[in-house]
Structure 1
């Protein structure tokens, strides 16, 4: 590689790193507790029972949630992936901001209500919002996505420069005698050692920031097409029991688990349909949603289809980003690599600051000599 090419790559690496490092450091720090969000979450204190999940009446749970919050509505139902519980949020309207939801949690085997802290408050909620959107909504998410893209550029340019800068050194050598040189060698070593993980997490993080545009694209295209497959039944104000809807969708798509139910009037359903989102039972299919639409008046399933490829790419990137698909051992590995990445980012800032201070001191010395 020519000297001019090396200089160009140095410029790209320096400035892409400087612009995104503070935000990348924030993402690493907030992402660390999120790796263990299940372990740090509230103790559900589920009652011991031999009843099968899903045997209690969902309509009864919804009625209890509405009775406890007069004047509010239930826009969604959320099933837990790992526990037999159902989260029933209530809100002022069907299109209310999810941040304003009040959640009530029920055991799906017994229908018993479980008292837990609200999931949209507390330490983990603050860490999640900082990690996802800096409390700035879609604009904050897209901004963090742009920082993630710069991070990917910094990783690629760092790989290109690793060879020219370390060709005369044995791999893993950290030279002594100069603090800046030791930090430089440590920065290069840790950076190349965590290259694959850092690249995967950075790239999947960028994909995750596209969740909002992907949801809008699905609503504008796939949801409209699914609703157009069947004309809703004439039934002014009539609503099928949600228990009947769930039985119908489980019969229509056997072997899959219901994860989310969106009621008519929400952004993920239509005014005349209930939307049900299901997942499979394998480690891979459990991350991919399959949407179904049911006629809100009759409970009949009118459409079932797979998510488009761009939504599937989003779902597959999420477990790779947080490392939550391999149990606690993989989470510990993810956390250790996160800590190493924090050291890489801090050492990069130190090297830039040390070089700048050295340059200023040299200019001052030359000025005095002149």
Structure 2
């Protein structure tokens, strides 16, 4: 590698790292507890009451009615079925187009209809960490900005890998020179941990950038695929009497028996249409359980009118979301993800330490020191 090429890679690594490091450090710190958010949420739930054998399950319509009775003047835009327990989360809001942050959530036991007293998911420290991690409380601009920082992380990692060989060519792999001063020790540790976690950092950085496009992807799907699915009812009058939720869910389950209903979107919301319920289902394999399949159900008759797979761009989003948090392999993979997250924090902090105490020696001189058996005492984050 020529001196000019090396200098270009070095500058690319330095500046891409410096711009994104503080934001990546914030994302690693906030992301650590979010890896276990599902487990934390379930730990905060009270134990449901025991249900006697043979007790008939309550109707979904009765649960919706109970939720509306507790929140007078509101509507129910969504129902969310828990993927592990027989629980139903009912979202209510001032209108069907309200933002999710304005929803009030009530959780019911599907076996007994018991309402569980649980904290609101839009309150507390986990919600603050989630918002910091997703958009820094800045909405779509914040999401897109963090996506840009994720792409800079990918650039930083790739350029760091390119620089690893010339900077470490006189040392054995995994060498940490513990007797040559704290800066050299941190330099070797930074390089070692960075190269060991390179694949994980690339995966997390790239999937994180994809996840920041969730809102544009949702809007693109709503404006194209959802409109096409609902086109057959475009010229019909909007139903004044909605079909029973139990009937709607039952018809979808009979039409797609191999799939599981996860979400019911009520007519008039952004994920349904004025004429339809939007029912979202998942499969039963590790991959298909993360992919949503939408079905539209006539809001008046309860008849299933359209079922369509999500387009490729939406599937990429659905696959990247759980991969970003290590949510494919259960608790063992989550623990691995958490350990790698901690290692990444060390990489970022050590990079900042090395840059803040950097030497002013030219790049060529430091490489010459390596060739002569000396020390490289500067590297960027």
Short-chain TM bin? over 0.9
1:355 counterpart SS class: coil
1:278-334 Cα deviation digits (max 9, x unpaired): 001111110000000011111111100100001001111112110122122211111
Of 28-37 and 104-113, more deviation after overlay is shown by 104-113
Tell me the equivalent position of 2:142.
140
Tell me the equivalent position of 2:366.
none
1:89-147 Cα deviation digits (max 9, x unpaired): 11111111111111110011221111111111011111111110101111111110000
In the alignment, the residues of structure 2 paired with residue 205 and residue 94 of structure 1 have an alpha-carbon distance, to the nearest angstrom, of 29
Tell me the equivalent position of 1:30.
30
Tell me the equivalent position of 1:110.
112
Tell me the equivalent position of 2:226.
223
Alignment of 1:172-251 (within 5 A): 172-175=174-177, 176-230=179-233, 234=237, 236-251=239-254
Unaligned ranges ≥5, structure 2? 363-381
In the alignment, the residues of structure 2 paired with residue 51 and residue 317 of structure 1 have an alpha-carbon distance, to the nearest angstrom, of 41
In the alignment, the residues of structure 1 paired with residue 360 and residue 26 of structure 2 have an alpha-carbon distance, to the nearest angstrom, of 25
In the alignment, the residues of structure 1 paired with residue 96 and residue 195 of structure 2 have an alpha-carbon distance, to the nearest angstrom, of 49
Residue pair 1:77, 1:262 contacting (<8 A) in 2 also: yes
TM-score (normalised: structure 1) = 0.93
Matched, 1:58 2:60: yes
Unaligned ranges ≥5, structure 1? 360-370
2:89 counterpart SS class: strand
Displacement, 1:178?
2.3
2:338 counterpart SS class: helix
Of 38-47 and 101-110, more deviation after overlay is shown by 38-47
Tell me the equivalent position of 1:74.
76
Tell me the equivalent position of 1:363.
none
Tell me the equivalent position of 1:19.
19
Matched, 1:335 2:338: yes
Matched, 1:5 2:8: no
Displacement, 1:232?
7.3
**Which residue of the other structure, out of 82, 87, 90, is the alignment partner of 1:88?**
90
Residue pair 1:54, 1:108 contacting (<8 A) in 2 also: no
**Which residue of the other structure, out of 271, 285, 288, is the alignment partner of 2:288?**
285
In the alignment, the residues of structure 1 paired with residue 97 and residue 330 of structure 2 have an alpha-carbon distance, to the nearest angstrom, of 35
**Which residue of the other structure, out of 263, 267, 271, is the alignment partner of 2:270?**
267
1:74 counterpart SS class: strand
Matched, 1:39 2:39: yes
Tell me the equivalent position of 2:125.
123
TM-score (normalised: structure 2) = 0.91
Displacement, 1:228?
1.0
1:120 counterpart SS class: coil
In the alignment, the residues of structure 2 paired with residue 54 and residue 8 of structure 1 have an alpha-carbon distance, to the nearest angstrom, of 70
In the alignment, the residues of structure 2 paired with residue 9 and residue 173 of structure 1 have an alpha-carbon distance, to the nearest angstrom, of 23
1:31-65 Cα deviation digits (max 9, x unpaired): 00001112222134133447799943110010001
Residue pair 2:210, 2:320 contacting (<8 A) in 1 also: yes
In the alignment, the residues of structure 2 paired with residue 54 and residue 32 of structure 1 have an alpha-carbon distance, to the nearest angstrom, of 41
Residue pair 1:233, 1:298 contacting (<8 A) in 2 also: no
1:10-34 Cα deviation digits (max 9, x unpaired): 0000000000000000000000000
**Which residue of the other structure, out of 319, 324, 331, is the alignment partner of 2:322?**
319
Displacement, 1:352?
0.6
Displacement, 1:164?
0.8
In the alignment, the residues of structure 2 paired with residue 77 and residue 204 of structure 1 have an alpha-carbon distance, to the nearest angstrom, of 27
2:279 counterpart SS class: strand
Residue pair 2:48, 2:114 contacting (<8 A) in 1 also: no
Tell me the equivalent position of 1:366.
none
